[in-house]
Amino acid sequence: MGLIPFFGRSAPPRLVLLSNREPIEHRCGPDGDHVVTEPAGGMTAALQPAMAATGGTWIAWGSGPADFEVTDPAGRLLVPPDRPTYLLRRIALTEKEIEEYYLDIANRALWPLCHLQLNHFTFNPDSWKTYVAVNRRFAEAADEEIDGRRATVWIQDYHLALVAGLLPKARNVFVHQFWHIPWPPPDVLRALPSARALLRGILANDLLGFHTRRYVVNFFACVADLLPTAKTDEKRGIVRYRNHKTTVRHYPISIDVRAIQRLSARPDLVERSRELREQSAPPGGQLILGVDRADYTKGIPHRLAAFGRLLDQHPELQGRVSLVQIAVPSRSDIAEYKDLEREMEHRTTVINQRHGTPEWCPIVLIKENLDMPTLVAWYRAADICIVSPVQDGMNLVAKEYIAAQDGRNGVLLLSQFAGAAEEMEGALLINPYDEVSLARILHVALTMGRRERELRLKVMQRRLSTHTVQRWIHDIFSDVKKLRGRR
């Protein structure tokens, strides 16, 4: 299966991809040379292979400190540096634009809104104007890259919700967008004063993708509620609004399963994982793992509290189990994120003081950005992985953990509020808000027999082996090809 379906004899349309985050950043090294880093996160890693396969242009915010020292005056350079296959076009943002477009609207308004966290939601109308202006700059850059040719524009995520509506209409350009986070129900979306503008912008896409059926259902409910003149056919996944037809489908994102499996089988990583286990799990005991960006949607305090309760209720577990929480700091410019870091540290200290002994530290908090080989070594080392978001579009950690269980039999605890819960039959589903039941299910996982562990894992690994990120890209582009043909 090729990543991008074959387009017949005609040359494939030019691909122009837009995302807020860029696939690589440049910074200055110690000797004044330029060092390349790849920002953490599943999304850019998932999209790189598609760009490498097709060529084209990737347009993104140039957020690295030395980004514009290596580009032409239009902000462009060929990447990846070792085997250049596509063009990266960087957009420079001013301090004000970063504050208003990125922090205020994307992260203080749309992110909490879509994750149903209205207690964290704020809206600044001046910042919305900047959000529109930055989206316009992305659209103008895309239009320059298309340059009148036949093209497919692929927009990523909630930072760029208005781009489709700001692109000039052109018959030979197909525009589609993937929304990586949940889509909220109408009562929540109504809290956004610009909700109608947001919907109108998104409905300028020819195809719109979400992770799950539930988000598609919410989207149709929002259109019916806020844009009553739109005509919807939910069964066929079609919205017609102002003479434009948008197809709305769900495509669950996944991971490069083979790449994780290969890493997990590497002898040096098998050894590394043994060392990590020795360092952090009590001898003969078990290791529970959490891996997240430190974000209030990921339910980290909830899982720490449940682990504390587990230790309160089961004194026999003293010195028998440890929880390693890897939480890379994220969006630290926003007060709530700083508060979360403090809360994680506080809860960890309280539980460690209450239960720890000179030989045993119940919770180890690691606040580092780890490379994928090290993460995979941790996944291998853990008997249990706990993924407890209060809302999550998909959650790739759950899938990475299962893919890394080469010759192991780890148990996955997965929040019913993660998109991944719709696919991962075999996981122990949890409600992060229910501390009592979360502690109980942790105990179930710790005492689960080998046979049941293996059976559950097998179900998830079988599903994952065919539902890879390659399939995600292929399914989206198959639909792009069909819909473009019909047009």
Q: Kindly indicate which of the ranges 11-19, 263-271, 387-395, 428-436 contains the residues binding ligand ADQ, using the contact rule CB under 6 A.
A: 387-395
For ligand ADQ, the binding residue among 139, 281, 394, 473 (CB under 6 A) is: 394
Nearer to ligand ADQ, 41 or 356 (CB): 41
Nearer to ligand ADQ, 237 or 389 (CB): 389
Does position 293 interact with ligand ADQ (CB under 6 A)? The reply is yes
Give CA separation, 286 vs 277, 282, 291, 382, in Å: 9, 7, 17, 8
- Kindly report the backbone phi and psi dihedral angles of residue 427, in degrees, each rounded to the nearest multiple of 5, phi listed first: -80, 155
Longest dimension (CA), the chain: 70
Instruction: Find out whether 37 and 173 touch, Cβ atoms under 8 Å.
Output: no
| Residue ranges in 453-482 that form contacts with ligand ADQ under rule CB under 6 A | none
Crossing angle of helices 257-265 and 396-403, rounded to 10°:
50
Kindly provide the residue ranges of all beta strands, DSSP E only, lying in 172-230, ordered along the sequence. 173-178, 207-210
Number of Cβ within a 10 Å radius of residue 4 = 18
Does position 253 interact with ligand ADQ (CB under 6 A)? The reply is yes
Q: Minimum CB separation from ligand ADQ for residue 486, in Å?
A: 27
Instruction: Find out whether 101 and 131 touch, Cβ atoms under 8 Å.
Output: yes
Give me the 36-75 binding string for ligand ADQ, x by CB under 6 A, dash otherwise.
----xxxx--------------------------------
Q: Kindly indicate which of the ranges 68-76, 86-94, 219-227, 285-293 contains the residues binding ligand ADQ, using the contact rule CB under 6 A.
A: 285-293
Does position 226 interact with ligand ADQ (CB under 6 A)? The reply is no
For ligand ADQ, the binding residue among 324, 397, 411, 438 (CB under 6 A) is: 397
Q: Minimum CB separation from ligand ADQ for residue 308, in Å?
A: 22
Does position 334 interact with ligand ADQ (CB under 6 A)? The reply is no
Crossing angle of helices 213-226 and 195-202, rounded to 10°:
120
Q: Minimum CB separation from ligand ADQ for residue 468, in Å?
A: 14
Nearer to ligand ADQ, 151 or 384 (CB): 384
Does position 294 interact with ligand ADQ (CB under 6 A)? The reply is no
Q: What is 354-387 written as a DSSP string?
A: HH-BTTB-SEEEE-----HHHHHHHHHH-SEEEE
Q: 421-437 burial by CB neighbour count: b if 16+ within 10 A, else e?
A: bebbebbbebbbeebee
| Residue ranges in 348-377 that form contacts with ligand ADQ under rule CB under 6 A | 369-370, 375
Does position 180 interact with ligand ADQ (CB under 6 A)? The reply is yes
Q: Minimum CB separation from ligand ADQ for residue 177, in Å?
A: 13
Instruction: Find out whether 93 and 61 touch, Cβ atoms under 8 Å.
Output: yes
Q: Minimum CB separation from ligand ADQ for residue 374, in Å?
A: 8
- Indicate the pairing of strand 286-293 with strand 244-250: unpaired
Instruction: Find out whether 112 and 336 touch, Cβ atoms under 8 Å.
Output: no
Q: Is the dihedral of CA 192, 196, 197, 202 positive or negative?
A: positive
For ligand ADQ, the binding residue among 162, 202, 291, 439 (CB under 6 A) is: 291
Q: Minimum CB separation from ligand ADQ for residue 140, in Å?
A: 26
Does position 252 interact with ligand ADQ (CB under 6 A)? The reply is no
For ligand ADQ, the binding residue among 161, 167, 181, 227 (CB under 6 A) is: 181
Q: Which residue has the tokens 């994680």?
A: 344
For ligand ADQ, the binding residue among 202, 396, 421, 473 (CB under 6 A) is: 396
CA distance 215 to 92: 32
Q: Number of residues interacting with ligand ADQ: please give it, by CB under 6 A.
A: 22
CA distance 310 to 441: 10
For ligand ADQ, the binding residue among 392, 406, 475, 479 (CB under 6 A) is: 392
Binding site for ligand ADQ (CB under 6 A): 40-43, 180-181, 253, 291-293, 326, 328, 369-370, 375, 392-397, 400
